[in-house]
């Protein structure tokens, strides 16, 4: 008998516990076991440490808009490969196919209309699971179309942001999406249609430095990392360890970069209140969607 | 003016993208203040963002170009260690971008066309810049430049690095010097992010397609300005002359298209400026 078999733990016999009945809080300093049903009921926020777990775009939409009100737009936009980019032996096309299969998403942003406490709005929601919700041509195009349609229909626009930054694989086309989305938002501003930017963990790079950073009102979820350079880049360049809390939502609030840190359970009422206050010029009576 | 790459002298033919990166970064290459000295008269450098500090990595002020008052600005690198400590290698802090915005709004107020010279590895990525809102400073410039009510011409003269370059490069016409590069991130940054190895920068430079011919072929820039044989550093006066000619042609073309002074058709200019960026992107639609 090999000696390591002496130490092998036999699977313990016991009641059948489904593997997903409990989840562990992803906060390194908490790691608490949470009953999954409680976790879901609490909008995937840890009840002990208030860590806001990252949400997929679908989960976010389900939490944020009134049940059954979401209508997706431009679901047929698919990424191209303008540079014939190959990384570590894998083509960008193959990487995309793999990511699409893994996530069930065609790209990193989902757009559509919906209601929040009965108030209509248009929203663009990023999914960090899709190549870090990096901004390539499709992300830029979807945000641009959403903004333009919001001008036409006078619907308030909400961006639920999250991103690692630019989509390297699309090179200069990725960079130009920053100018494209910002230019469309300049038009939205002139049309006096409100734009609320909700920054979720993490929002960095070219997305913060373009559409995400241009909200009339900037909200962030507690603990969300928000910045230009990522902490790893800053530490590499300055050879200094960043103090805890740097670039988190609370840090950005303290430095005057955002308006409010909003707990996930307060998002819907906060958005609804803002839209009622700012939406007089808009079709918030439900017409125009 | 639409200088095609095919019209360029063969100075850069046969060089790899990574060798072109070295040319774009050559320490003897003309920088913003060299071009301002060679091509502009009566330059008065203005300082400070009126909020926090003056940023020597981004310089600018009113000047005359062929007799016409304009607002000229650009990133400024240093040539030696001491000067680079001051200029921070041409990597602006938020106050640099806010100074640029202040100058652009002033140009708008006094109806001066803006000439913007781009030469930066990227915006400063350190904690002080984060504390002062680097991302929001850049975003605000993109937003304001899209609706600035005067003509804007940008030229990528050396390194067009990332959002730090774009933050002063949203323009009606964008030109690129033959050996300049324009990219979403430095080759080192790309190699580090994708392959966790900054040593693969040469491969990243090739993969990202950042040289002038590629950027022009993609329709991102309107023209490529030929450099003297061997590159701009080999003959700075010749490079300045080529840039001066290209700038004059470009401004004359804008005048013809949109009028100038009182006759400027600003609404059409703004419409076309937004449309130009609006149309950039490669995707499929099912």
**pLDDT of residue B21 exceeding 90:** yes
Question: b/e per residue, B181-204, with b = 16+ CB within 10 A?
Answer: bbbbbbbbbbbbbbeeebebbbbb
Residue among B279, B24, B163, B185 nearest A169 (CA): B185
Residues of B with Cβ-Cβ distance to A87 under 8 angstroms:
194-195, 207
pLDDT confidence of A260, banded at 50, 70, 90?
very high
What is the per-residue pLDDT for A64? 98
Q: Which of residues 192-251 of B touch A (CB under 8 A)?
A: 193-195, 207-210, 215, 218, 220
DSSP β-ladder status, A33-35 and A22-24? antiparallel
| Domain segments of chain B as ranges | 5-278
Distance between B270 CA and the closest CA of chain A, angstroms: 10
Does A83 contact chain B (CB < 8 Å)?
A: yes
**What is the per-residue pLDDT across B224-277, written as a single tens digit (0 to 9) for each?**
999 999 999 999 999 999 999 999 999 999 999 999 999 999 999 999 999 999
**Closest residue on chain B to A88 (Cα):** B195
Nearest to A82 by CA among A73, A71, A70, A91: A91
Quick one: pLDDT band at residue A88, thresholds 50, 70, 90?
confident
pLDDT score recorded for residue B198: 86
Q: What are the start and end residues of each CATH 3.90.226.10 domain in chain A?
A: 55-281
- Owner of token pair 């930054």: A165
B146–A contact, CB cutoff 8 A: yes
Question: DSSP class of residue B235?
Answer: -
Q: Residue B30 pLDDT > 90, yes or no?
A: yes
* Beta-carbon separation of A80 and B282 below 8 A: yes
Give the per-residue pLDDT at A87: 86
Give the tens place of pLDDT for each residue, B47-88. 999 999 999 999 999 999 999 999 999 999 999 999 999 999
Buried/exposed code over B124-148 (b: 16+ C-beta within 10 A; e: otherwise): bbbbebbbbbbbbbbbbbbbbbbbb
Q: What residues does A71 pair with on adjacent strands?
A: A113
Whether residue A202 has a cis bond before it, omega within 30° of 0: yes
The pLDDT score that the predictor gives to residue A279 is: 82
Predicted pLDDT at A288: 41
Instruction: Name the class of domain A55-281.
Output: alpha beta
| Confidence at A2, pLDDT banded by 50, 70, 90 | low
CA distances from A250 to A197, A263, B94 (A): 16, 12, 20
> Which of A12-16, A19-23, A239-243, B268-272 shows the highest mean pLDDT?
B268-272
- For position B11, what pLDDT does the model report? 53
- What is the band of A19 on the pLDDT scale with cuts at 50, 70, 90? confident
pLDDT confidence tier of residue A10, bands split at 50, 70 and 90: low
Mean per-residue pLDDT, A240-252? 94
- What's the complex ipTM? 0.96
> What is the C-alpha end-to-end distance of chain A, expressed in Å?
71
Average pLDDT over residues B124-137: 97
Strands B283-285 and A77-79 turn out to be: antiparallel
Which residues on chain B are in Cβ contact (under 8 Å) with A173? 218, 220, 280-282
Q: Of the candidates B133, B182, B194, which has its C-beta nearest A257's C-beta?
A: B133
- CB contact set of A162 (below 8 Å; sequence gap of 6+): A54, A126, A127, A128, A133, A199, A200, A201, A202, A203
Sort out which chain B residues have CB atoms less than 8 A from A240's CB and list them: 127
Region A173-196: what's the mean pLDDT?
Answer: 97
H-helix segments, chain B: 17-24, 32-39, 81-87, 94-109, 127-131, 134-145, 162-166, 187-195, 201-208, 212-217, 236-258, 266-278
User: Quick check: A244 contacting B, CB < 8 Å?
Assistant: no
Output the CA angle A141-A268-A113, nearest 5 degrees. 35
- A206 or B198: whose pLDDT is higher? A206
Q: Distance between CA atoms of B55 and B136, rounded to whole angstroms?
A: 17
Is the CB of residue B125 less than 8 Å away from at least one CB of chain A?
Answer: yes
CB atoms within 10 A of CB B86: 10
Task: Please report the residues numbered 25 through 54 in chain B whose beta carbons come closer than 8 angstroms to any beta carbon of chain A.
Answer: none
Helix (H) or strand (E) holding B284: strand B283-285
Residues sharing a CB contact under 8 Å with residue A274, sequence separation 6 or more, in sequence order? A194, A196, A217
Rounded to whole angstroms, the Cα distance separating B71 from B112 reads 6
Q: Is the pLDDT of residue A11 over 80?
A: no
Over 90: is that where the pLDDT of A144 sits? Answer: yes
Cβ(A99)–Cβ(B220) below 8 Å: no
How long a stretch of residues is chain A? 289
Phi, psi of A198 (to 5 degrees): -110, 115
Q: Residues 209-238, chain A: which have Cβ within 8 Å of B?
A: 209-214, 227-229, 233-234, 237-238
What integer pLDDT is reported at residue A287 of this predicted model? 45
Confirm if A181 and A189 have CB atoms less than 8 A apart.
no
Distance set, CA A256 to CA A28, A203, A204, A251 (Å): 28, 17, 17, 9
Mutate to test the interface with B, among A168, A177, A235 (most CBs of B within 10 A): A168
d(CA A229, CA A209) in angstroms, rounded, equals: 10
Kindly state whether B126 is in contact with chain A, defined as any CB-CB distance less than 8 angstroms: yes
Please count the CA atoms within 13 angstroms of the CA of B269 that sit on its side-chain side.
Answer: 26
B7 touches chain A (CB under 8 A): no
Q: Is B270 an 8 Å CB contact of chain A?
A: no
pLDDT for B84-107, tens place per residue?
Answer: 999 999 999 999 999 999 999 999
The model's confidence at residue A282, banded by pLDDT at 50, 70 and 90, is: confident
Write down the pTM of the prediction. 0.94
Q: Give A12's pLDDT tier (boundaries 50, 70, 90).
A: low
Strand order in the sheet with A109-116: A71-73, A109-116, A119-126, A157-163, A195-203, A217-220, A260-261
Contact B182 A238 (CB under 8 A): no
Q: Is 3.30.360.10 the CATH classification of the domain at B5-278?
A: no
Size of interface A-B (CB pairs under 8 A): 191
What part of A 152-171 touches B (C-beta under 8 Å)? Answer: 166, 168, 170-171
pLDDT band at B1 (very low <50, low <70, confident <90, very high): very low
């Amino acid at each position: 008998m090999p000696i390591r078999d002496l130490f092998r733990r036999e699977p313990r016999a016991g009641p059948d516990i489904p593997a997903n009945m409990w989840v562990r809080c992803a906060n390194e300093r908490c790691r608490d076991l949470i009953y999954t049903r409680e976790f879901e009921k609490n909008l995937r926020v840890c009840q002990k440490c208030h860590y806001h777990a990252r949400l997929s775009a679908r989960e976010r939409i389900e939490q944020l808009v009134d049940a059954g009100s979401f209508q997706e737009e431009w679901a047929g936009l698919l990424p191209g490969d303008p540079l014939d980019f190959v990384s570590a032996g894998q083509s960008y096309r193959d990487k995309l196919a793999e990511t699409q299969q893994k996530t069930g998403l065609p790209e990193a942003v989902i757009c559509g209309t919906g209601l929040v406490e009965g108030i209509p709005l248009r929203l663009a929601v990023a999914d960090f699971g899709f190549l870090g919700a990096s901004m390539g041509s499709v992300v830029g195009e979807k945000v641009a179309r959403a903004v333009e349609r919001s001008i036409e229909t006078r619907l308030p626009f909400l961006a639920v942001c999250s991103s690692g930054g630019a989509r390297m694989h699309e090179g200069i086309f990725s960079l130009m999406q920053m100018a494209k989305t910002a230019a469309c938002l300049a038009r939205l501003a002139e049309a006096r249609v409100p734009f609320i930017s909700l920054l979720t963990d993490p929002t960095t790079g070219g997305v913060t430095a373009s559409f995400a950073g241009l909200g009339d009102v900037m909200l962030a979820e507690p603990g969300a990392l928000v910045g230009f350079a990522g902490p790893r880049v800053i530490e590499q360049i300055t050879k200094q360890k960043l103090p805890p809390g740097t670039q988190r939502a609370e840090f950005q609030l303290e430095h005057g970069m955002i308006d409010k840190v909003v707990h996930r359970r307060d998002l819907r009422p906060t958005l609804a209140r803002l839209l009622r206050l700012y939406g007089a010029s808009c079709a918030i009576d439900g017409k125009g969607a | 003016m639409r200088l095609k790459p095919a019209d360029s002298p063969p100075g850069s033919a046969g060089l790899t993208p990574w060798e072109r990166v070295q040319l774009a970064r050559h320490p003897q290459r003309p920088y913003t203040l060299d071009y301002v000295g060679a091509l502009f008269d009566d330059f008065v450098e203005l300082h400070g963002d009126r909020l926090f500090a003056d940023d020597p990595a981004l310089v600018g002020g009113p000047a005359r170009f062929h007799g016409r008052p304009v607002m000229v600005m650009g990133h400024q690198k240093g040539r030696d260690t001491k000067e680079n400590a001051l200029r921070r290698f041409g990597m602006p802090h938020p106050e640099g971008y806010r100074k640029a915005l202040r100058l652009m709004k002033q140009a708008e107020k006094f109806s001066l066309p803006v000439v913007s010279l781009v030469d930066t590895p990227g915006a400063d990525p350190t904690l002080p810049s984060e504390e002062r809102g680097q991302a929001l400073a850049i975003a605000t410039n993109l937003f304001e430049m899209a609706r600035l009510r005067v003509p804007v011409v940008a030229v990528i003269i050396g390194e067009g690095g990332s959002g730090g370059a774009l933050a002063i490069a949203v323009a009606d016409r964008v030109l690129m010097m033959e050996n300049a590069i324009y990219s979403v991130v430095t080759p080192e940054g790309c190699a580090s992010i994708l392959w966790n190895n900054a040593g693969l920068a040469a491969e990243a430079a090739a993969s990202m397609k950042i040289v002038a011919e590629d950027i022009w072929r993609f329709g991102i820039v309107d023209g490529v300005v030929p450099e003297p044989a061997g590159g701009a550093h080999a003959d700075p006066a010749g490079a300045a002359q080529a840039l001066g000619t290209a700038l004059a042609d470009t401004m004359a073309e804008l005048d013809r298209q949109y009028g100038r002074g009182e006759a400027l058709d600003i609404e059409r200019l703004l419409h076309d400026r937004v449309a130009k960026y609006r149309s950039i992107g490669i995707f499929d639609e099912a």
